[in-house]
Structure 1
Amino acid sequence: MKKGFGLMLILSLGMLVACRGPEETETSSTSKSSATSSTTSISSSESSESSSSESERSEDSSRSEVEPSTSSSSGKTSASEPSTFTKSSQPTESSEPSQASESSEPPTSTEPTENTADAQAELKAMHSELHLPTVTAPNGKALNIASAVEVNRVNVLYYAMDEALIMNHRQLNNETPFASYSVSDYGSNAEAQAAVNYIVDDSGQAVDLGYGITGHQQGAAGSTYLNWQEGNWSLTVRGLNSEGQDPVATAKKMVNYLEEAFLPVPKTLGQITVDLGSSGYQRAQVVWQVDEIVYRVTHQDPLGALQVAVSWE
């Protein structure tokens, strides 16, 4: 009995050991795994702290690189400073093209200056020492003027436009004048007389122009010329035969106008020439001499030329 009991005790102990063995092994394995996980967690924590530390050092380093630029901008501004370059490369009030163009132009040069621009008044103020005519732009247009002074000569061009501009506005470079006026000092009476180009021709067919005035008409090289004299003035009208231009009709209109209007008194000569075959502001010319000075008016219209000359002060 004792022997059997002892054998059973040994077998029971063996079974107990056998049953507990896996749990202990599992517990041991769990402990080891926990230890490994703990170690991994510690390593990860250390790595995170290390990364955080490196990030802080990087930020500190970045701050240390930016700070000198910031501190230098608070002192004297460098021409190569990024912020200054960016500002200067953007449109600003000081670099705006419109302001630059305004500064390079006369103050009222581009405004519709019907009430503020009076080119004829400007011309008279600029050349108060000269005799100047009064000019009116045709077709109700605004009168604009360009004037230039050369050696012993003043030239004036007249323009008819939709808006009035100040004198010598650069826009006039693209326009065509309808009339002109010039004053030239030739230094002697003889040279001034030669510049008038006075023409007297009593040959050809006599033509009654009215008011007791007789003209003389003749043809040459496809043209018809009509000449007559009024006081110290000689007048010539040319017409093209191919265009059917009749100088007599134009001459009679001129004679009729001059019966009521008075041309300047030349000293010594005056010449009026109308070329019906041409166009432009030199179609009709009125030229007269006062001692060594020669005055010249041109106009696109014959009667317009006479009106400008009559208004001469």
Structure 2
Amino acid sequence: MKIKAISTAALLIILSACTSEPDMTEQTDDGKVQSSNQETENTETENPETAQKQALTSEEVIAETEKQLSTDVPIKLPDTLNLNEGYHLTAKTVSDQDSYQIIFFQTKDVIPINNAKLDQLSDASILAVLSGQNYDSNEAALEQISYQNFEEIGGKPVDLGYSITGYQDAGAGSVYLSWNEGRWAFSLRARTEDPDNLLTDSKKIVEFLESSTLPAPKMYGTGKFDTMNEHSRDQILVWQEDRTVYKIEKAEGALRTLEIAASIK
């Protein structure tokens, strides 16, 4: 009887060992064995929300921004946008059948497109505002351009280089320097006491346009730039393409405005 009891106990121990669930193991490509529990832990640490907040390149943000627009207006966007070092690009969009507007921001933190946090940003975070608007006719679109032939208007002739003549005028505490290039008309404004800065900035624009191509207007385009200070955002570039009018506004300075336009193909 004593021997039988011992044998029964031994049998129970063996059965218990066989029915217990050992950790599942899997051999990896490099021959290492990894437990299923470890795989579960690794999977749980991959947070989808974290992955979505990873910074996109400027090109990727622009592509994603275009997907947010629902409009019949042919969309014009730059290939890329230059940011201050350490900043990320994001955008807020508004669109309907006949218009769209995109406010591009540069931010220290990664903020998704059209996120509510964008409403809390100051104007200093704005990189540029781009828009497109369809009008009823080509003539109605042309009325939005305010194109002028400055040679006909006249003023004090100023040599801007590259065989381009500007015309200087003054009034109400401001001095203006204006000129035409092709179907574009440009005008810069500065304080009356800063005519030298006005000439320097105008020559920089002329030089930039010698090596960079703006969108081709159909019929005309105008650029009106404020050079009162280097951080001025009173800038606007507008051009017509048949019955559609495109604008670039609120960029910091004339050259940044033109850089954005030159990137539009």
- Shared fold per TM-score greater than 0.5: yes
Are 1:259 and 2:210 an aligned pair?
Answer: yes
Residues 137 and 143 in structure 1, CA contact (< 8 A), matched pair in contact too: no
The equivalences for 1:206-245 within 5 A come to 206-242=157-193
- The percent of aligned pairs where both chains have the same amino acid is 29
Say yes or no: does 1:119 pair with 2:61: yes
Is contact 1:195–1:294 with CA below 8 Å preserved after alignment? yes
Q: Name the structure where helix makes up a greater proportion of residues.
A: 1
Query: In the alignment, which residue of structure 2 is the partner of 1:131?
Result: 76
Question: Which SS does the other structure have where 2:104 is aligned?
Answer: strand
Conserved? CA contact 2:220–2:240, under 8 Å: yes
Q: Distance in 2 between matches of 1:169 and 1:245?
A: 43
- Note if 1:179 corresponds to 2:179: no
Contact 1:148 1:156 in 2 (8 A): yes
Residue 113 (structure 1) shift: 2.6
Compute the displacement of 1:184 (Å): 0.4
1:158 aligns with 104
Alpha-carbon distance in 1 for matches of 2:180, 2:219: 14
The 3 A distance-change label for structure 1 pair 244 and 261 is closer
What TM-score, normalized to structure 1?
0.60
Q: Distance in 1 between matches of 2:98 and 2:134?
A: 5
> Structure 1's 234 and 108: CA in aligned 2 closer, same or farther, altered over 3 A?
farther
Query: Per-residue deviation at 1:116?
Result: 9.0
Among candidates 235, 257, 261, match of residue 309 of structure 1: 261
CA distance in 2, matches of 1:278, 1:312: 26
**Letter aligned with residue 122 of structure 1:** E
Equivalence for 1:148: 94
Aligned length: 207
* Inter-CA distance 132–186: structure 2 relative to 1 (3 Å threshold): same
Structure 2 distance, partners of 1:109, 1:278, is 41
Structure 1 residues without counterparts, runs of 5 or longer: 1-106
Give the number of the structure whose residues are more often strand, by fraction. Answer: 2
Distance 1:113 1:228, change over 3 A: same
Q: Say if 1:196 and 1:110 are closer, same or farther in 2 by CA, change over 3 A.
A: farther
2:246 aligned partner, one-letter code = Y
**Offset at 1:127?**
4.2
CA-CA distance at 1:196 after TM superposition = 1.2
Deviation at 1:271, TM superposition (A): 0.3
Aligned residues: CA RMSD: 2.6
Structure 1's 241 and 135: CA in aligned 2 closer, same or farther, altered over 3 A?
farther
Return the index of the structure with the highest Cα Rg: 1
Question: Does 1 or 2 have the higher relative contact order (CA < 8 Å, sep 6+)?
Answer: 2
Q: TM-score, normalised by structure 2?
A: 0.70
- SS class of match (1:212): coil
Unmatched segments (≥5 aa) in structure 2:
1-47
- Write the distance in 1 (CA, Å) between the matches of 2:245 and 2:142: 8
1:246 pairs with 197, 200, 203, which one? 197
* Structure 1 residues 133-157: Cα deviation after superposition (integer angstroms, max 9, x where no partner): 2342432221111111145210010
